[in-house]
Amino acid sequence: MDLGAGPFATFRLVIVPQIIGGLAGGSVLAFISSWINVELSIYSTTAELTTIPVKLFNYVQYTVDPTIAAVSAVTILTAVVSIAALDLLVGLNVLAERR
C-alpha cells in the first residue's frame, strides 16, 4: 500500500500526531468547563431548549433533596474518568515533558 505524498497523507502522518495531545486536552477541558458555566448557559437557552447546567441551577433553587448531590458526584466522576482517559490515550507525563 502506497502512502503517497499528497496533502492528506502529510496531514495524517505529520500534523495530526503533533496536535493530538492539544486536541484531546482541549476537548476535555472544554467539556468540564461547560458544566460550570451556568451564567452563559442561562442567556443561551430558549423556551424549547434548556441546557443541563440551567436545569440543575433551577432544580437547586426550587427543590431540596439529595438528587443534586448524586448529579454532582456523577459530574466529578466524569471529570476524573476524562482525565484518566486523557492520561491513557496521550500520557500526561508526555504533555508535561514538552514544556
Structure confidence by residue, pLDDT tens digits, 28-74: 788 777 767 777 777 877 878 887 778 878 888 888 888 878 877 88
Structure confidence by residue, pLDDT tens digits, 72-88: 788 889 888 888 887 88
Q: Is the pTM of the predicted complex or chain greater than 0.85?
A: no
Burial 36-62 (b: 16+ CB within 10 A, else e): eeeeebeeeeeeeeebebbebeeeeee
Task: Give the C-alpha separation, 31 to 40, whole Å.
Answer: 14
**Is the distance from CB of 51 to CB of 44 less than 8 angstroms?**
yes
CA 80, distance to chain mean position in Å, is 11
